Structure formats: C-alpha cells, structure tokens
Amino acid sequence: MEEKKDFKGSQKGQKGQKGQRDQKKEYRKPSLISIAGLDPSGCAGLLLDVRVIRALGFHPCGVVTALTFQNTCKGYGFELVSPSAVEKQLSSILEDKLIAGVKIGLLNSIEIAKVVVDLLKSYGLGKKGPVVWDPIIKSTTKLEFFNENFVEVAEFLSNVVDVVTPNVEEAELLSGRKIEDISSAEEAARIISRRLNSSVVITGGKLKGVDVVLEGEKAFTVEAEFSPVEIRGTGCIYSSALTCYLSKGDSLEDATRHSRLYLLESVKRARLTGKCLPCSDPALNFD
C-alpha cells in the first residue's frame, strides 16, 4: 500500500490534435467504491462516504447493502438488500470503472460478504488498490446492526481487507478482549490483525482521542483533538478519508494522520441539520 500508484490510465502521448483527443478519450478519473448502508438523513453511511470521496479527489461509486430508517434523533430499523442486488450493483461498477480503492461499511450478512469478497477478488482489489473495512455494530442513533454472524463476516472479509477500523466496542468483539487503555487496545489490535491478516486502526473516541494503529509488528498512536459531544458520521468520514489517502499512495502512518486531521476539520464544521444530533460536514479543498 505504500507504493505510489499511477491512476492516469493509458495516455499514449501522441502528438497533434488527434493525440490530444485520444488522451482525453482514454483518461478515466479514478473511482472509489463505498459498499455501505443507506442512511436517508445523509448524516452517515453511503451518502456521507460519497461526499468525503468526492472532496478528496476521487469519483465516488456506491453499492447499497442495507436500507436504514433513521434521522438525527432515532433509529427505527433497517432492511438488508438481497445478495443478488448487491452482486449486480458491484459487478456493474467493477467492469466499467478504474477503481483505486474500496471502503466497506455496514455489512452484517454472510451471504452478502461472500458476494463482495468473490467479486473483489476476481477483479484483483487488494492488489490493485486498498480495501478498508469499517465494521459497524451500532449507529449513533442506537440502531443495532450486530448479530451472531459478526465474527464470521469478519473472517470472510479477511480475504480481501487490508485495513480494518473498529472503534473500541467493535474491537472488543473482534478480539474477545476488554479495552481499557492504550496497552490493552494494542493487544486487541494484535489479536485482530492475526485473525484478519490485516492492519488495524482502533479509533479512539473512548480512548480520549487516541487512535491505536498496528501495521505488521509496528504499533503506534495518532492523537488529535476530539469532541466530547456526540456527533453523527465520524466513523464514516474517518474510514472514507483513510481509503482515499491510501489510494493516493500514502503509507498507513501518513494516511492515519491525514485522516485524523481531516476528521477533526469535518467535526469542527458539524451543524444541526435536524432536531437532535449534529452531523459532521466533510471538509472541502482539504490538504
């Protein structure tokens, strides 16, 4: 993932007007795919991912895994999209677009996980571009997504995922360990890394703003200001930004620091868009 990637397509550099027309015709702007749930309020999930991806320079593509029913005050429920519908969405994108990376969000179905893994593997994702998984067991609106398939879904996704970004509660479920401080978070990250064969970023809302990152045997922390106020969309923004920076060729260490700063700026821009919780607002023109 640290190797710089060239996403400019097969421009042949021909001379004259015909060559210029050919270059424009052959150029495809690199795309990032968000595979996630749809939040109709726009404060989380696919709609928020799309805003981050576009702000950080990529063309956003989306695959809906679930329809959620929530607003800024409450979560009312959700319905899973059929595996065949997910397959049709994802395959239509993969066969057409120049994919630089993939962010996976809400995905709690084994059948859907199989579809996603098989398609991403068949198109070489993970080798051609990073795949980041942000496991989601509960929304900020208290909508419960966790079920008995959580660990099995994680095992399926381990076949393609490069980086997993659980919060403390999700990391405890994935590792089977209680997290109370930085040391126990690092231990949990090592367990998750071994199980999923991936790098791990445990996001630190409950660790007073400290993210614990494990890449291979290297562990480090990333610190930044954090808001004690509950704000919607922070996990979605962070994992989408991380996917973008990794897709640009950043090392994991640089990408985690850039993503943390991007999240901080987006949280500072948070506004009330409804009657209850404020929503993060992805920063534009951020460098």
In a domain, 98, yes or no: yes
Query: Would residue 282 count as lying in a domain?
Result: no
pLDDT of residue 285: 67
Distance CA 255, CA 260 (A): 8
Task: Assess if residue 76 is contained within a domain.
Answer: yes
Question: How many structural domains does the chain have?
Answer: 1
pLDDT computed for residue 284 by the predictor:
80
Mean pLDDT by 10 residues, the chain (287 residues): 37 42 66 98 97 97 98 96 99 96 97 97 85 95 89 94 96 95 96 97 85 97 79 95 98 97 92 94 77
pLDDT of residue 287: 59
Q: Which two tokens stand for residue 234?
A: 């922070």
Supply the CATH number for residue 227's domain.
3.40.1190.20
Give me the domain span that covers residue 201. Answer: 24-268
Cβ–Cβ < 8 Å for 146, 138: yes
Helix (H, G, I), strand (E, B) or coil at 20: helix
Confirm whether 14 is domain-assigned.
Answer: no
Count CA within 13 A, CB hemisphere, residue 92.
9
pLDDT of residue 9: 34
Query: Is 220 domain-assigned?
Result: yes
Structure confidence at residue 129 (pLDDT): 86
Residue 205 counted as domain residue: yes
8 in any annotated domain: no
